[in-house]
Amino acid sequence: EAGVTQFPSHSVIEKGQTVTLRCDPISGHDNLYWYRRVMGKEIKFLLHFVKESKQDESGMPNNRFLAERTGGTYSTLKVQPAELEDSGVYFCASSPRGGIGYGYTFGSGTRLTVV
Amino acid sequence: DAKTTQPTSMDCAEGRAANLPCNHSTISGNEYVYWYRQIHSQGPQYIIHGLKNNETNEMASLIITEDRKSSTLILPHATLRDTAVYYCIVRVVGAGSYQLTFGKGTKLSVIP
């Protein structure tokens, strides 16, 4: 089966611009997660979708970040306006329904650089 | 979720078993132990998880002590491709948040 796909793999934008990251989960996976690692820090949870609904968005850093999952398929994470501290690697993961007993499958990430 | 403690780094000779320890002394009865790893510039990769029984899959074995306060991930025949940061994560399964809390992990270097 195809894995979790993220694009772009790299993005370089100027401070104040908008960037949209996309994640295509494994087909049929109801659960979709966003995580990120900013420079020198640990990987941190951002939010969790179950199908198209936000189950947990407690990790979203502020209202400059907006995540959507249209029709319960792919998801986008928009950063608007981007700040320097948003630079890092953004990971998406997915798991099946009732996926708490399963491991999550992560994508390779999008490396975001804000200059 | 309970806190975990792992050594910062470890070395292992290629072909030998790599034994990665993890302490989770405050683990509660409904918390599972998960192991993930991150190979440089890739996303985290699920390895194995368990509750109280030892577990084995095609990648590794997980040994959990009887009191569940610590565990060991065993890679039976380490290869150079196993060089990565290994994360031990403890979390509740069955209700509530699905978050994974990543710590600093153990950087495993497999040496030729």
Task: Write down the pLDDT at residue A97.
Answer: 78
Tell me which chain A residue has its CA closest to the CA of residue B99: A45
Q: How far is B61 from chain A (nearest CA, A)?
A: 15
Six token digits for residue A22: 């996309």
Closest-CA residue to B65 (of B21, B17, B9): B21
Burial of residue A17, with CB atoms counted within 10 A of its CB: 0-12 exposed, 13-18 middle, 19 or more buried: middle
Helices (H), chain A: none
A-interface mutation test, from B100, B104, B106, B107, most A Cβ less than 10 A away: B100
The per-residue pLDDT for range B11-26, each reduced to its tens digit, is: 999 999 999 999 999 9
Inter-chain touch B98–A43, beta carbons under 8 Å: no
Say what the pLDDT of residue B95 is: 59
Confidence at residue A1, expressed as pLDDT on a 0 to 100 scale: 64
- pLDDT for the residue B96: 61
Categorize the per-residue pLDDT at A76 as very low, low, confident or very high, splitting at 50, 70 and 90: very high
pLDDT digits 0-9 by tens, B42-53 = 999 999 999 998
Q: What integer pLDDT is reported at residue B82 of this predicted model?
A: 97
In a mutational test of the A interface, the residue from B42, B98, B106, B107 whose CB has the highest number of chain A CBs within 10 Å is B98
Is the per-residue pLDDT at B88 higher than 60? yes
Output the six-digit token pair for B18: 């790599």
Tell me the three state secondary structure of residue A108.
Answer: coil
Residue keyed to tokens 């959990």:
B64
Residue-averaged pLDDT of chain A: 93
The residue that leads in pLDDT, B94 or A20, is: A20
Contact A48 B97 (CB under 8 A): yes
- Map tokens 């995580």 to a residue: A35
What pLDDT score was predicted for residue B98? 79
Chain B: residues touching A (Cβ < 8 Å): 34, 36, 38, 41-49, 93-94, 97-104
Output the pLDDT for position B2: 66
Q: Which residues pair with B89 in a beta bridge?
A: B34
Is residue A65 within 8 angstroms of chain B, CB to CB?
no
Q: How many whole angstroms separate alpha carbon A84 and alpha carbon B87?
A: 28
Q: Which pLDDT band holds residue B99 (cuts at 50, 70, 90)?
A: confident
What gap in Å lies between CA A37 and CA B67, rounded to an integer? 33
Give the separation between CA B91 and CA B28, rounded to whole angstroms: 9
| Pairwise CA distance, residues B44 & B85, whole Å | 9
Which is it for strands A10-13 and A110-114: parallel, antiparallel or unpaired? parallel
Amino acid at position B60, single letter? A
